[in-house]
């Protein structure tokens, strides 16, 4: 008999918690095992997390953190929300997976709910996937069937992030993500950000679709102007191209509205969702608006095994129910203002771009990575998408007091980062 090594502990089944199947260890021990067993695509993980409750998480050494990143805009209601977890557990113990040869009440109810929240017109439809990139793959295929051979071009923007699978990657702008995997699926062109004239020039009758994020999250929380969104809608309509909004990060209440583009008065032809939708459970979706776009993909042209399963759709329904019934979007706006005002007046902060609880904090010096490191030491989880930019995307039910605790700590985090920066010989 072969022995299982890799440091695995003997299983004690019948004890229904994670440590029964994982064993225990210190962060250092886990990280050694991580680097021996997991592919290096994410670099070194910052911490080994074992437990969460609301906006708090704990690492394997028992240290507590205030999670101001929320799993990158995913944990809409924080960690282990009691209603969401109980709905997931009860759905899983009733009916967990059925394949798309079948449907389930939760799948249908969630599609109806998303159509209602997005104020989608008659004839609008939903397709469920498991992630943001998959939702965008569906968008890519929608653009292809819409365009056919005559309209091979898909327009996206510089700075765009749409995911890591090949179609979504082709629409993603960052050269370092794309180059090792070229040739990309053909036809995608990237236009300058927020440049209406460039859009006007590029939009001709060879264009199948324009794919945009109303606010670019990975690029450091960069909003398109209301004028650009309006022009995008008018110009695509004029030329018979689809307008596809990627609201994977901005959707589901993140900005204080259900959807940033819809709130700006834009009715797209399609909109993709994922991150916050399942409250931490993986799910993605594309909504097509109106008859035209909704009938483009026909039976057999697209599919998924896991997408829209009863558990994921129940998780999303539970998340939407809490966001609505507890009036969480009002909290998003209140706490957003607290961050904007509190961080905006600090020395060393040049700008705060706060769209609900998607917040970019611009620093005078390129010390975002140092601030992130100091924040972790001080018990805060944040993100540094660019050398001068901090991004926050905390749970939407973050309290005012939790926001204040970070604002109060920020000057010292920045001072620590600046000191480390100048001792490295930079100035
Ligand atoms: C995160 C993100 C994606 C990709 O989602 P995954 O679930 O990581 O595949 C796509 N678009 C936007 C705008 C995102 O923020």
Catalytic residues: 161, 246, 275
Take residue 199 and report the two structure tokens written for it. Answer: 């859009």
Take residue 188 and report the two structure tokens written for it. Answer: 């995608």
Q: Which residues are annotated as a binding site for N(2)-acetyl-L-ornithine?
A: 164, 304
Q: Which atom of ligand 1 is nearest to the CA of 133?
A: 9
Calculate how far, in angstroms, residue 218's C-alpha sits from the geometric centre of ligand 1.
9
β pairing state of 49-53 and 222-223? unpaired
Ranges of beta strands (E only) in 54-206 are: 56-59, 64-67, 125-129, 153-157, 188-191
Non-local (6+) Cβ contacts of 249 within 8 A are 72, 73, 132, 213, 215, 217, 218, 275, 358, 393
β-sheet bridge partners, residue 53: 56
Q: Nearest Cα to 409, choosing from 390, 387, 386?
A: 390
- Separation of alpha carbons 59 and 72, rounded Å: 18
CATH number for region 38-67+327-426: 3.90.1150.10
Residue 5 pLDDT > 70, yes or no? no
**pLDDT score recorded for residue 111:** 98
**C-alpha dist (Å) from residue 403 to 31, 45, 393, 395:** 30, 25, 12, 11
**pLDDT score recorded for residue 3:** 43
- Separation of alpha carbons 58 and 52, rounded Å: 6
* pLDDT interval class at 329 (50, 70, 90): very high
Q: Which atom of ligand 1 is nearest to the CA of 163?
A: 4
Residues 407/339, Cβ–Cβ less than 8 Å:
yes
Q: Which atom of ligand 1 is nearest to the CA of 247?
A: 13
Supply the residue whose CA is at minimum distance from atom 15 of ligand 1. 249
Residues 379/65, Cβ–Cβ less than 8 Å:
yes
Q: Where in the chain is the domain with CATH 3.40.640.10?
A: 85-325
Model pLDDT for residues 350-389, shown as the tens digit of each residue: 999 999 999 999 999 999 999 999 999 999 999 999 999 9
At 79, is the secondary structure helix, strand, or coil?
strand
Model pLDDT for residues 105-133, shown as the tens digit of each residue: 999 999 999 999 999 999 999 999 999 99
Q: Which residues are annotated as a binding site?
A: 132-133, 161, 164, 246-249, 304-305
Model pLDDT for residues 192-215, shown as the tens digit of each residue: 999 999 999 999 999 999 999 999
Average pLDDT score, the chain: 95
Instruction: Give the CA dihedral 361, 363, 368, 373, nearest 10 degrees.
Output: -90
**C-alpha dist (Å) from residue 248 to 101, 132, 217, 254:** 27, 6, 10, 10
Supply the residue whose CA is at minimum distance from atom 10 of ligand 1. 162
Take residue 82 and report the two structure tokens written for it. Answer: 């009691």
Calculate how far, in angstroms, residue 162's C-alpha sits from the geometric centre of ligand 1.
5
Residues 307/285, Cβ–Cβ less than 8 Å:
no
Non-local (6+) Cβ contacts of 425 within 8 A are none
CATH number for region 85-325: 3.40.640.10
Question: Helices (H) and strands (E) in the chain — how many of each?
Answer: 16, 17
Ranges of beta strands (E only) in 15-59 are: 49-53, 56-59
- Separation of alpha carbons 58 and 309, rounded Å: 30
pTM, 2 dp: 0.95
Q: Where in the chain is the domain with CATH 3.90.1150.10?
A: 38-67+327-426
**pLDDT score recorded for residue 427:** 52
């Amino acid at each position: 008999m072969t022995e299982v090594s890799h440091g695995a502990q003997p299983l004690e089944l019948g004890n229904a918690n994670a440590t029964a199947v994982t064993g225990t260890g210190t962060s250092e021990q886990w990280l050694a095992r991580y680097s021996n067993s997991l592919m290096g695509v994410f670099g070194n993980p910052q911490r080994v997390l074992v437990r969460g409750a609301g906006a708090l998480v704990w690492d394997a050494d028992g240290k507590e953190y205030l999670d101001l990143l929320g799993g990158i805009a995913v944990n809409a209601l924080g960690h282990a929300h009691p209603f969401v977890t109980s709905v997931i557990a009860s759905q899983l113990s009733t009916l967990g997976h059925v394949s798309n040869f079948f449907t389930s009440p939760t799948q249908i109810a969630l599609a109806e709910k998303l159509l209602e929240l997005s104020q989608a017109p008659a004839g609008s439809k939903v397709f469920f996937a498991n992630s943001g990139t998959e939702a965008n793959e569906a968008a890519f295929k929608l653009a292809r069937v819409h365009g056919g051979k005559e309209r091979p071009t898909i327009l996206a923007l510089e700075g765009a992030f749409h995911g890591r699978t090949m179609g979504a990657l082709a629409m993603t702008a960052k050269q370092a993500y794309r180059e090792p995997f070229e040739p990309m699926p053909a036809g995608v062109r990237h236009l300058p950000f927020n440049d209406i004239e460039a859009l006007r020039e590029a939009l001709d009758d060879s264009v199948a679709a324009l794919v945009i994020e109303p606010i670019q999250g990975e690029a450091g929380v960069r909003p398109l102007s209301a004028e650009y969104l309006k022009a995008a809608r008018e110009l695509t309509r004029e030329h018979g191209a689809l307008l596809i909004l990627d609201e994977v990060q901005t959707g589901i209440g993140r900005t204080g509205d259900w959807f940033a583009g819809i709130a700006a008065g834009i009715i797209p032809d399609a909109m993709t969702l994922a991150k916050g939708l399942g409250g931490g459970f993986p799910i993605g979706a594309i909504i097509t608006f109106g008859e035209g776009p909704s009938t483009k993909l026909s039976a057999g042209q697209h599919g998924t095994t896991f997408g829209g399963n009863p558990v994921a759709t129940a998780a999303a329904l539970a998340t939407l129910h809490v966001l609505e019934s507890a009036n969480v979007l009002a909290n998003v706006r209140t706490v957003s203002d607290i961050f904007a005002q509190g961080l905006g007046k600090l020395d060393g902060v040049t700008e705060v771009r706060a769209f609900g609880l998607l917040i970019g904090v611009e620093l005078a010096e390129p010390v975002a990575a140092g601030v992130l490191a100091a924040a972790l030491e001080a018990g805060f989880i944040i993100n540094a998408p660019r050398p001068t930019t901090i991004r926050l995307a905390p749970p939407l039910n973050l309290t005012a007091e939790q926001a204040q605790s970070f604002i109060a700590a920020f000057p010292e985090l920045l001072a620590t980062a600046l000191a480390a920066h100048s001792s490295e010989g930079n100035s």
